[in-house]
Amino acid sequence: MPQIAIFQLMQEISSFNPAETQYEDFVTSHGEDWLSASRGTLNEIGGALGVFFEEDDVQLIPTMSAVSITSGGPFSAEAWGRLSVELVESLEGLRDRGVDGAYFCMHGAMASVSEMDPEGFVLEKAREILGEDIPIVTSMDLHGIMTDRMLEHSDAIVVYHTYPHVDQKETGERSARLLLRMLKEDLRPVMAKVKVPALVRGDELITDSGIYGECIRLAQKIEESGEGLSAGMFIGNPFTDVPELCTNSLVVLDGNQELAEQYATEMAELFWVHRERMQVPLTSLNEAVEQTKANEEGTVVLVDAADATSSGASGDSNAILAALYNADYRGRLLTPIVDEPAVLAAREAGVGNEVELKLGGTIDPARYTPLKVKARVRMISDGDFRSETFNLLWHAGPTVVLEVKSYTVVVSTRAVHLFDRSFYRAHGQDPSRFDAVVMKSPHCEPHMYKDWASLYLDVDAPGATSANLKSLGHSVCERPMFPLDDDVVFEPRVEVYRR
């Protein structure tokens, strides 16, 4: 009976968020309880378990799961030091178990001030413990930064095919099926990658409708071919400023190195040709205010991707709120913000009462100046709610709903993912019933906002995850890099990995 080890490590960070990730920002799980709780979930682990449990002759060995409550800044040295010890100890328990294969579920865009490649570090340790002959399949987010160390210690890497991400479960299923094939068949995976010196953001990355989808459809065609094992296009996370940050094509075939190299080069060149289109046109903050004030019908959706908590931003931006407030916008505005002192002041005042407080700039004061307001407290909650997309329990910490002039501000103690509407809806707010709503995510599924917005503006606001990439100050990644530098030259060079 083959024994398969399962491991999970998931977080995406922004190097430009001044608030470092701490140990307490992770939920850790171990053993059979972790697997039991993961059965039927819509993430990678749930998908993989569904495949493994279909097999009568497979024994699963859970190690450890460490998943961040939300994205954030880089790990503090202390936090990574503590967590990394626990991660390695969980793998040490496999040393004498006779493990036949391993599935590693990872994001790929983590970083610590003391370790720029946490996932690569873990895979290297796993290889030392499990040995060179054990097949390891690793799944990753397409925003992952695929490093040499990850490739050197994995037999195959499987990557998401959708953005916005809706195929986590399917990615886990693909990973599990590939690992089972490697245990049962005489597969000889060869991985070919091509680095592309480009960082991109924008609507053209939406795989259903954007030009980036051409690369993904090629990857899917490769996977469906007789020799195809895995393929994808890693666009990386532009905000994780680490040495190997870039875009990568990846093709994994059964033994055919020459064809893998051809496919990886074709995919990379297809991406490079369209790089200029993969930059989102931004509307200045002042112009966004003027267009919002002029709008007379329907809802203006103000996209504040610069403060996207799911991408690693702090969540305490008041840039759009303050601009509308100071311009005396009189429409009904709905906006989120992370501000623990404001929550404490509102809770002390109590529901129905007025309170004077400041909003914004408590985490990233270099970017945001606190806005002094008078507010009426409309709701107090514990901040626990179920996500609209995955039905997972999310924790925003103590949360309040404030009424500021004609504005409704939902204020949390800590950042949570905002790539759907669940934070608003859990606190009694329907975005479609407002004149303007701030969406702190680069993209949501179209039906959530874009399909019904009367005006949809990507706002050039300040923030740790701004699509205005030149504004961020990259200092670690390789240069030259599009669009950070002018006249960047791309000469495809294939790198091959096989065990």
For 119-171, what is each residue's pLDDT tens digit? 999 999 999 999 999 999 999 999 999 999 999 999 999 999 999 999 999 99
In this structure, are residues 386 and 416 in contact, taking their beta carbons and an 8 Å threshold?
no
pLDDT at 96: 85
- Joined tokens for residue 293: 């004030």
**pLDDT, tens digit (0-9, with 9 covering 90-100), for 64-95:** 999 998 899 999 999 999 999 999 999 999 99
Domains of the chain by range and CATH?
3-278+493-498 (3.40.50.2300), 283-465 (no CATH)
Mean pLDDT by 10 residues, the chain (499 residues): 95 96 94 92 95 93 94 95 97 92 97 97 97 96 97 98 95 98 96 98 92 97 96 97 98 97 98 95 97 97 96 97 98 98 98 98 97 98 92 92 98 94 97 98 93 98 96 97 97 97
pLDDT at 56: 86
Cβ within 8 Å of residue 427, ≥6 positions away: 379, 381, 385, 399, 401, 410
In this structure, are residues 253 and 190 in contact, taking their beta carbons and an 8 Å threshold?
yes
pLDDT at 300: 98
pLDDT at 177: 98
pLDDT at 392: 81
Rounded Cα distance between 358 and 265, Å, is: 53
pLDDT at 389: 84
Rounded Cα distance between 425 and 435, Å, is: 16
pLDDT at 1: 80
| C-alpha gyration radius of the chain | 23
pLDDT at 97: 87
